[in-house]
Amino acid sequence: MITKRIIPCLDVKNGRVVKGVNFEGLSDVSSPVELAKYYSDNGADELVFYDITASAEGRALFTDILCQVASTIFIPLTVGGGINTVDDFERVLNCGADKVSVNSGAIRNPKLVEEAARKYGDQCVVLSADIKRVDGEFKVFAKGGRENTGMEAISWIKRCVDMGAGEIVVNSIDTDGVKKGFDLEMLEAVCNAVNVPVIASGGAGCKEDFVTLFNTLDKVDAGLAASIFHFGEVEISDLKQTLAQNGIVTRLI
Amino acid sequence: MIAIVDYGVGNLFSLKSSFGSLGVDIVVSGNEEVIRSADKIILPGVGAFEDAAKKLRATGLDAVIKDEAAKGKPIMGICLGMQMLFDRSLEYGEHKGLGLIKGDVVPMEGVIPKELKIPHIGWNALCFNGKSSKLFKYINEGDCVYFVHSFYAANCDDAVIATAEYGKELTAAVEWGNVYGCQFHPEKSGKVGLAILKAFCELEDE
């Protein structure tokens, strides 16, 4: 049977891995290549790289680092951040990325999802959605969670899946950085609406949060986190043992 | 030397890097002479069957691969490259494959339980079902590899050397004489994947 995936996420700015708490207050953590190798050796099933650089120089540096990572480790790589055109897909795919994650770029131009899916296949297009509750409704936020688009999140996700998004990263702004567990209510709403893999993001604080995630929501395929892995609070190999003890099947190495 | 067939389908970066990390001499080429002079051939591929089969035929390399296979040269198809080794595919119509292994490529839809997502994407365990293969000499039954596919090879029981359970036993790897195929991506399957590529590199001509 297919195993549940554990995915560390690396936010990269100017060639270094950083992680914000609630998207603000970045702190330098480590080298992307070293961290990627460490995670790959210790059981990560996939890696996500978000390029949070704003400048052209930073983007070029990111692309260069991605090539280094992709020639060092041999597990699936997803790249996001600054993906606005099909050319941006091409740029990161040529550096060894397997999937490309779109967020603000898709909000600005939803056709991007359709065009990229047609050119590279649905499996290549990941929709990343930053979602926050506003007056009791799930709303899609853009620009790293700073701007409310006014769009209702579930219908936005369904629309993107219809256009060819092959996987959804659900990032709850409400639980991100709080470390009190994943946003089960939000994730359940997404899982019930689509039939493509759903990756939970935002809120993991300890191993038990992953156990609760997979035991509560069987339809969630993967759990994604950053700081708890980067700061060594949770070791992936250790997390997978705990999941196994709770009857959750993962890839053990 | 190992030749990775370049016929304009898919991204060969990771495949190239993974052989590179094994210290194996490789060449990525669409040139007939280069491919003929290689000791072994890798046929990669992602995307749609019809498009890939057309592109391969347009280069004339389909005949080269068949010819080299007939000479006993080890050949391995990966993902869509594996599917192309079969007689035909029923992916959106009916399309002819290389016919190096008897069997059909068919959709998972309608065959696996409805609640399972398509594509079959992620890490899944290999079952050997009592079969053994030189390809697996460095790995164990139960090891996980990375899959991304919506169609699978059927009616090829004699050639199947590994399956993966996803609502039913899906063909994960095949071997027919000197012709091998992996439905999963060894170049994305961590150490297990590299160990499979290493074993392929160590095969002798039949």
Residues B12-38: tens digit of each pLDDT: 999 999 999 999 999 999 999 999 999
Instruction: Give the pLDDT of residue A57.
Output: 81
Average pLDDT in chain A: 91
Domains of chain A: which residue ranges?
Answer: 5-245
* Number of domains comprising chain B: 1
Total residue count of chain A as it appears in this document: 253
Instruction: Give the pLDDT of residue B20.
Output: 94
Strand partners, B88: B96, B104
Where in B73-201 does DSSP place strands (E)?
75-78, 86-89, 95-96, 101-107, 120-125, 144-149, 151-154, 160-165, 169-176, 179-182
A11 is an active site residue? yes
Q: How far is A190 from chain B (nearest CA, A)?
A: 14
Contact B13 A96 (CB under 8 A): yes
Question: What percentage of chain A's residues is helix, strand, coil (to nearest 5)?
Answer: 40, 30, 30
Q: Is the pLDDT of residue A23 over 80?
A: no
CA–CA dist A253, A103 (Å, integer): 32
Q: pLDDT tens digits, residue range A79-135? A: 999 999 999 999 999 999 999 999 999 999 999 999 999 888 888 999 999 999 999
Chain A residues within 8 A (CB-CB) of chain B? 1-3, 5, 40, 45, 70-71, 73-76, 93-96, 98, 121-123, 166-167, 195-197, 221-222, 251-253
Q: What is the mean pLDDT of residues A51-69?
A: 88
Give SS3 for A80. Answer: strand
Q: Is the pLDDT of residue A238 over 80?
A: yes
Task: Determine the topology of domain A5-245 in CATH.
Answer: TIM Barrel (3.20.20)
CA-based max dimension of chain B = 48
Which chain A residues are closer than 8 Å to B126 by Cβ?
Answer: none
Task: Give, for A215, the enclosing helix (H) or strand (E).
Answer: helix A207-216
Contact B122 A71 (CB under 8 A): no
CA–CA dist A167, A129 (Å, integer): 11
Q: Judge whether A168 and A125 are in contact, CB under 8 Å.
A: no
**Nearest residue, CB atoms, B124 vs list A3, A74, A98:** A3
Q: pLDDT tens digits, residue range B46-93? A: 888 999 999 999 999 999 999 999 999 999 999 999 999 999 999 989
Instruction: Give the pLDDT of residue A22.
Output: 40
- The DSSP bridge pattern shows strands A24-30 and B179-182 to be unpaired
Contact A74 B119 (CB under 8 A): no
What string of DSSP letters covers A53-71? --SHHHHHHHHHHHHHHHT
From A11, A51, A176, A221, active-site residue: A11
Instruction: Give the pLDDT of residue A27.
Output: 47
From A51, A130, A176, A183, active-site residue: A130
Residue positions of B annotated with a catalytic role: 79, 185, 187
Which chain B residues are closer than 8 Å to A1 by Cβ?
Answer: 124-125, 165-166
Other Cβ atoms closer than 10 A to A233? 14
Q: Is the pLDDT of residue A47 over 50?
A: yes
Residue B75, in any domain of the structure:
yes
**Nearest residue, CB atoms, A45 vs list B11, B123, B165:** B123
Q: Is the pLDDT of residue A178 over 50?
A: yes
Reading across the β-sheet that carries B169-176, which strands appear in turn? B26-29, B2-5, B40-43, B75-78, B179-182, B169-176, B160-165
Lowest mean pLDDT among A158-167, B35-44, B47-56: B47-56
Q: Judge whether B164 and B123 are in contact, CB under 8 Å.
A: no
Q: To which residue do tokens 């006014």 refer?
A: A150
A87 is an active site residue? no
Instruction: Give the pLDDT of residue B202.
Output: 96
CA–CA dist A40, A176 (Å, integer): 24
Which chain A residues are closer than 8 Å to B125 by Cβ?
Answer: 1, 3
Residue B206, in any domain of the structure:
no
Instruction: Give the pLDDT of residue A25.
Output: 41
Instruction: Give the pLDDT of residue A26.
Output: 41
Instruction: Give the pLDDT of residue A52.
Output: 87
B178: CATH: 3.40.50.880
Average pLDDT in chain B: 95
- The DSSP bridge pattern shows strands B144-149 and B120-125 to be antiparallel
